[in-house]
Amino acid sequence: MSLNSATASIPSSEISHDRVWNFSAGPSVLPLSVLEEVQRDLLNYKGEGMSVLEMSHRSKVYGNIISDAEATLRRVLKVPDNYSILFLQGGGTGEFAAAYLNLMACKSVREKQRKLGRQLACDYIVTGGWSKSGLKETKRLGGITNVVLDGVKSAATGEITYNSLPPVSEWNLGKPEETAFLYYCENETVHGIETPVNYVVDAVDPLVPVICDMSSNMLSRPIDISRFGAIVAGAQKNMGPAGVTIVIVRKDLLERDETDPEITRNIPSILDWCYYDSAESMPHTPPTFTIYVCGLVFKWAENLGLEALEKLRETRSGLVYDMIDAHPEFFHGLVDKKFRSAMNLVFTLPTRELEAQFISEAAERNMVQLKGHRSLGGIRISLYNAMPIEGAKTFVIFMKEFYEKNVQ
């Protein structure tokens, strides 16, 4: 894809020339129009005489803010009526535990477990650092886990790497009657690998709920919510600032046998999806300001449309990957092309010294947050929804100039 052919665009009003190009993996860039609306209303929200930062979550005004945010997200993602939308705290880390605790308390899962006569296992697809963290948390809580796959083994070194996925025929899926749920992270922000939705859900028996962490690619393209038991997502990538986690969960998975005293004994209220669902996400003070900003981002996404946002994500990432592919001896892509993330693009340069120079010179040209995750190194450019095409173009022009100056 040439720079001139990249026609998909966020409106020019979303570009401010006195701001840097922020390629952070999260908290990430937000739409400029959203930030400007927040700025206008910061001291006096819609004539109410106070900021949302100061507003009681029990007030009618804030009640409208949170209900409108939920309704907008439901429209944008076409969330079916038999799913609840919850605004929670605790981030993705909290949901590692919450997903396990809530699913194991679910009435249908407990009935399956009683029929089996022993504890059900939890299937985990491990494609990188975040799915591995989810697996560890379930083990820490006493869950029985079945690792469906754990990266791929390097033919050269024999080490496990997170740069591809094995074919489904090699997966170690548990028996449906012995499995409580399957958990996976669709986009790994550290390792830059993105697993296509159908690649997983087509492989899993419909009797096994699929729980998906979509923290870093939610709202970037249309998805069929009905194919999932639950979706969990931290807001600070595509949906808003840090501080709120959104859970979309099928309502039958919130059903419990209230005659069983063991059901909720081990679920802290802060992690209990039913507790939040029964109180419409406000059993206590929610992250009010973060939810308010998320609601504005949802409206921004609705105005553009998910189809347009998907085109933008493919155009942005395509520009960068084309440059990587054109000079593989210099820009070494780390991920199998079939599974390369459109959100978090990772690569290395021939030496660490060149990588440090690349990051430094990019910063001099107002391109920041390009250093790879501390566990992986290299370069990582994150291209979330609010990043205009011009940001990707600017980065690719820099890549080309840096290559021409430093290639041996």
Indicate the burial class of 81 (C-beta count within 10 angstroms; 0-12, 13-18, 19 or more): exposed
3-class DSSP assignment, residue 359: helix
Secondary structure percentages of the chain, helix, strand, coil, to 5: 40, 15, 40
Tokens of 359: 């990051």
Question: Could you tell me where the beta strands, DSSP code E, fall in 353-405?
Answer: 367-368, 379-382
Contact assessment for residue 22 and residue 369, using Cβ atoms and an 8 Å cutoff:
yes
Contact assessment for residue 293 and residue 34, using Cβ atoms and an 8 Å cutoff:
yes
- Which listed residue (21, 130, 273, 300) is catalytic? 130
Active site residue 213: yes
Contact assessment for residue 312 and residue 10, using Cβ atoms and an 8 Å cutoff:
yes
Measured in whole angstroms, how far is the alpha carbon of residue 377 from the centre of its chain? 21
- Residue ranges in 246-287 assigned as alpha helix (H): 273-278
| Terminal alpha carbon distance of the chain | 25
Contact assessment for residue 148 and residue 76, using Cβ atoms and an 8 Å cutoff:
no
CA–CA distance, 367 with 362 (Å, rounded to integer): 5
Residue 385's region, left for phi above 0, alpha for psi from -120 to 50, else beta, is: alpha
- Which listed residue (112, 123, 132, 237) is catalytic? 237
3-class DSSP assignment, residue 247: strand
Please state the length of the chain: 408
Active site residue 21: no
- Which listed residue (123, 213, 273, 300) is catalytic? 213
Give, in degrees to the nearest 5, the angle at Cα 228 between 222 and 229: 145
CA–CA distance, 285 with 295 (Å, rounded to integer): 17
Tokens of 170: 């090699």
DSSP letter assigned to residue 119: P
Residue 349's region, left for phi above 0, alpha for psi from -120 to 50, else beta, is: beta
- Which of 249, 219, 218 minimizes the C-alpha distance to 233? 218
3-class DSSP assignment, residue 174: coil
Active site residue 41: no
Q: Which residues are catalytic?
A: 130, 213, 237
